[in-house]
Amino acid sequence: MTFTSRVSRRFSPLFDSPGQLAVIAAVVWLVGVFIHPLAILAPLGLGLLLLAVVAYVLRPRSHTMYWRGRRIDLDDNPGPIEGLYRALFKR
């Protein structure tokens, strides 16, 4: 790996999936529950967990078909909900 290939990678603040957000939310909630001075984090963690559940339910479904032995991913007309999902998550 050369120096230029390491520099070309960028940090992306997007989560890979709603499951990753749920794990982070659970950790934030547990910190808020068990460490009293940080109790304000408990409702924040629950809110993030609720956001992760809603994102999991509203995640876009992929439509895949095969044509001449090749896999083709069909992209239906993406709506505003899918645009919001793509703003938060990579996949």
- Kindly report, residue by residue over 5-38, the tens digit of the pLDDT: 555 556 667 778 889 999 999 999 999 999 999 9
**Residue 65, exposed/middle/buried by CB under 10 A (0-12, 13-18, 19+)?**
exposed
The pLDDT tens digits of the residues spanning 56-73 come to 888 877 778 888 889 888
pLDDT for residue 79: 77
pLDDT of residue 57: 86
